[in-house]
Structure 1
Amino acid sequence: MTALTRLDSQPAHEHAISIAGSMKQTYEQLLLSDDPEHQRALAQAFLQVQLQLAADLPEEMPRELSALQDWVELHCADVARQYADYLQQRKDGGARQYFSSKAHALFFLQAVAPTKLVDGAWLYGLLRHWRDPRFEGLICTYLEELGDGNPAQNHVVIYRKLLAEHGLQDTGVIADEHYLQGAIQLALGECGEGFVPEVIGYNLGYEQLPLHLLISAYELSELDIDPYYFTLHVTIDNASTGHAHKAVQAVLELLPLEGDREDFLRRVALGYRLNDLGQGSGAIIESFDLDAELLNMLERKRPFGQHMHSDYCRFEGQTVNQWLSAPEQLPGFLDALQNKGWIKRHQDPQVSRFWQLIDGDGAAMFGVFSPYEKQLLHDWIAGDWTPECSGAAVRAGKSAVTQAPVPVNDPDVQSLQDSLEGLEAAEQMQALITWLSARRHSHPAGLTATRRFIELKSSLR
């Protein structure tokens, strides 16, 4: 079966929709389903649709193999020049170009979370080729995405911790379209055996150093948000010896010697273009609207708070419960809070009575809003006001990601160890691969399995 062969006579887009539903549902089924046959069928149908869409996009990758490495290096040099220009603009007093506020940055981190939380997943299906030296670079790339079994370097562990630090675990607020790239990565990893050229092409595109990675890291640091996830990718994706270089080598090493080379390269180029589907990082950053995001957040909170307030306080003749009784009243409620002086826009939020109710251990509404929700309120109240020193007014405690000891009697670790008992080394490799999936590798048993996989892989060469 070729990559674009239909699963049945049903059109691919109808088949994909009938198997899953929304993009989020597709993503979750590809990540969490316990039915391998369903996952495989969904992944193939979904990829067929996405590859058809990608075929209509402009082709950027050169077909001439001798030009591939130079093309990657030129791209890297161009990004470096653009970043140098950015740094000079900032040195000359220019404002941040990406994030207007800390809330803006947190909005971005949450929106791209579905992709970041399956980082590297497109390569998972290639692990079965661990004996084939042609796949060495791709498998090495995947294992490095997994931190080689060290949680301090595992990309998903790092990003999950970043989300937790800033109260960004509510997946219900993420737009459905933001699950697209993560779903593509999961689908490629699930049925990589039949889509090897597309996986190679996607990997080539994804591992190119983008300008947004450099600027995001710089501005996140300014906003007191740990940029380590992003700076890690800046170093690991380099075109000299890193993932970008390995991506080029994979194209050259896996190109057929006697087979249809033209078709192989066509499919590689098609896989490359999968990276361009959906809303990219730049578009997500530009889509942020503080006023709209604040109102959306308040509407999500409104059903839980509309009956929780006493009638003691009234604003323009209405109780808080009355103001919260319908979503269309929220803008008026914010205006009423300002008219009564409880919110003082474009000033230090600390002087607003409403902020004092929600911030601090002794605040009457302590814990009602998550760190991200508080940041939205803080930045909306602050408006044009700028603190004397940089840094966030709403801070979340930081702690380093360390290689924590495996929990004693962890049931998954025990299950892993039991499954390896009595198996030959090569048989263990096959058993370990299951634990290196996008769903499992960042958990204690997955981290343990990753380290064992690397150990055995080295000894079995």
Structure 2
Amino acid sequence: MTVLTHLQAAPATSRPLDSSGELRRIHEALLADEHPQPLARAFLEDQLLQAAQLKEELPSDPTQWHAWVAEHCADVARQYADYLQQRKAGGARQFFSCKAHAQYFLQAVAPTKLVDGAWLYGLLGQWRDPRFSSLISTYLEELGEGNPAQNHVVIYRQLLAEQGLEPSSPLPDERYLQGALQLALGACGMDFLPEVIGYNLGYEQLPLHLLISSYELSELGIDPYYFTLHVTIDNASTGHAQKAVQAVLDLLPLEADRSDFLRRVSLGYRLNDLGQGSRAIIEGFDLERELLAMLERKCPFAQHMHSDYCRFEGKTVNQWLADPQQLSGFLQAMQDKGWIKRHEDPQNSRFWQLIDGDGAAMFGVFSAYEKQLVHDWIAGDWISADKPVAFRRRPSVPAPIEVPEQDPDVQRLNAALQGQNAHSKITTLIPWLAPARHAHPAGLLATRRFIQLKSGQR
């Protein structure tokens, strides 16, 4: 069997990614522009050239894909069972060394998670064609079918907020590649149909890292619901994985060139391999490097804010902060003076006492994530990797839908729908199901109305 390597291991990029911010600009432009097709097309054509250089992963005969995906799922289940056995035998976490590590991961994948499902948006116009029903159903499920408690983007935004993580925090440019790809595929829709369904086929398979991430996030006191939700819906029996295979079979040409269609499906599948995967991001974390990078970002604001009363090795705090190259030495100087006691409870360190607590002299200087970096770096070996943190799981019953009738977008949408027939209403609703809109109140309402109208017309 061909292994779905890009879903389990850290993929290699086909070319170095620059740090100019180009990918972030493309990501933001595709998300903001209501008619981004020219940019999306140019970006996709370039990325497909890169995908063509990657190894072919799909079996040549699409009639084998159902069995191939089922076997992959079974293999992931076996690997996860082995992982659980190792953990129950006392083994340490394999992904996240500390809570800051997990938060780093959540922040790093945010540009992709906050456009979840975007690659399918451009197919909504085919809602009357039964061949597209499984793909449209998948997209609507990504949108929680209009229920904010199940909308994937809403859930991920809530997760970031709970952890004190900002969606706009600076990230390496390569973090925006997969999100930009998803937005570009969604913008081009039918023009790149084989690539869209190929990408969907790859993205909707159940990866091992999803299971392990869910388990370890829960241990660290971080709500894993976004990840466990994907475990249940991306299954090979009745979920998105099965629907992804069926969509390809349903849309295969009957008399036109099948080989070219399948070639393009394979290219779309390989788009999943571009950029850094979740495993590579997790493995690339270094706690001290992230701590120093965070402190360096604060230097321009902090280097003139301290008095000259306290000195370390003859230098004032302002002098230490004047040059980012000195930050590592500054941390060592605080250790030498006893202000930081590594590998102990951070409460024993004077520096931690200055930044934590309502009465702390530096209260509010560090964000929740920045404080977690400091805490975990000080704690070091004191944090036991096999000491799970109890976590109260969310209720199994979703929260009731609340429509804010006074929301101006909701009012405008309701007004626009007045007097229209069902087909015209659907045309009006579809733009509100776009990646940049569906998680807002009017987008959630539009999703529910779209489902109602579509069901009534079929």
- TM normalised by structure 2 equals 0.92
Equivalent residue, structure 1, for 2:23 = 23
Cα distance in 1, alignment partners of residues 341 and 394 from structure 2: 34
What is the CA-CA distance between 1:260 and the residue it aligns to?
Answer: 1.1
- The answer to whether the aligner puts 1:169 opposite 2:160 as a matched pair is no
Cα deviation digits, residues 61-97 of structure 1 (max 9, x gap): 1121221100000110110111111111111111111
2:31 partner amino acid: L
- The answer to whether the aligner puts 1:192 opposite 2:192 as a matched pair is no
- The answer to whether the aligner puts 1:182 opposite 2:199 as a matched pair is no
2:456 aligned residue (453, 456, 459): 459
2:306 partner amino acid: H
1:73 partner amino acid: A
Matched ranges for 1:194-233 at <5 A: 194-233=191-230
What is the CA-CA distance between 1:187 and the residue it aligns to?
Answer: 0.2
| 1:405 aligned counterpart, secondary structure | coil
- The answer to whether the aligner puts 1:298 opposite 2:286 as a matched pair is no
**CA spacing shift, 1:170–1:198, aligned 2, 3 Å:** closer
Cα distance in 1, alignment partners of residues 428 and 323 from structure 2: 54
- Over the aligned positions, Cα root-mean-square deviation in angstroms equals 1.9
| 1:291 aligned counterpart, secondary structure | helix
What is the CA-CA distance between 1:389 and the residue it aligns to?
Answer: 8.5
Cα deviation digits, residues 15-35 of structure 1 (max 9, x gap): xx9xx961000000000125x
What is the CA-CA distance between 1:386 and the residue it aligns to?
Answer: 2.6
1:273 partner amino acid: R
**CA spacing shift, 1:399–1:86, aligned 2, 3 Å:** closer
2:89 aligned residue (89, 92, 101): 92
The question of whether the paired residues in 1 share the 8 Å contact of 2:93 and 2:386 is answered with no
The question of whether the paired residues in 1 share the 8 Å contact of 2:76 and 2:207 is answered with yes
Cα deviation digits, residues 98-153 of structure 1 (max 9, x gap): 11111111111110000000000000000000000000000000000000000100
What is the CA-CA distance between 1:316 and the residue it aligns to?
Answer: 1.7
- The answer to whether the aligner puts 1:135 opposite 2:128 as a matched pair is no
What is the CA-CA distance between 1:407 and the residue it aligns to?
Answer: 2.7
| 1:361 aligned counterpart, secondary structure | coil
Matched ranges for 1:40-439 at <5 A: 40-169=37-166, 171-386=168-383, 390=387, 402-403=399-400, 405-439=402-436
2:247 partner amino acid: A
The question of whether the paired residues in 2 share the 8 Å contact of 1:348 and 1:387 is answered with no
| Higher mean displacement: 405-414 or 112-121 | 405-414
1:429 partner amino acid: I
Cα deviation digits, residues 246-298 of structure 1 (max 9, x gap): 00110111111111111111111111011011111111011101111000000
The question of whether the paired residues in 1 share the 8 Å contact of 2:131 and 2:251 is answered with yes
1:290 partner amino acid: L
Higher relative contact order (CA 8 A, sep 6+): 2
What is the CA-CA distance between 1:172 and the residue it aligns to?
Answer: 3.6
Q: List gaps (5 residues or longer) in structure 1.
A: 1-16
Equivalent residue, structure 1, for 2:12 = none
What is the CA-CA distance between 1:404 and the residue it aligns to?
Answer: 5.5
Over 3 Å off, 4+ runs: 387-393, 397-404
| Higher mean displacement: 125-134 or 335-344 | 335-344
Q: List gaps (5 residues or longer) in structure 2.
A: 1-17
**CA spacing shift, 1:388–1:252, aligned 2, 3 Å:** closer
The question of whether the paired residues in 2 share the 8 Å contact of 1:158 and 1:229 is answered with yes
1:27 partner amino acid: H
Equivalent residue, structure 1, for 2:444 = 447
Cα deviation digits, residues 336-383 of structure 1 (max 9, x gap): 111111100010001111111111122111111111101100110001
| 1:191 aligned counterpart, secondary structure | helix
What is the CA-CA distance between 1:399 and the residue it aligns to?
Answer: 7.6
2:298 partner amino acid: K
**CA spacing shift, 1:399–1:62, aligned 2, 3 Å:** closer
| 1:171 aligned counterpart, secondary structure | coil
| Higher mean displacement: 119-128 or 263-272 | 263-272
Cα distance in 2, alignment partners of residues 456 and 209 from structure 1: 32
Q: How many residues align?
A: 438
The question of whether the paired residues in 1 share the 8 Å contact of 2:92 and 2:386 is answered with no
The question of whether the paired residues in 2 share the 8 Å contact of 1:223 and 1:390 is answered with no
**CA spacing shift, 1:193–1:389, aligned 2, 3 Å:** closer
Identity of aligned residues (%): 71
1:405 partner amino acid: E
| 1:226 aligned counterpart, secondary structure | coil
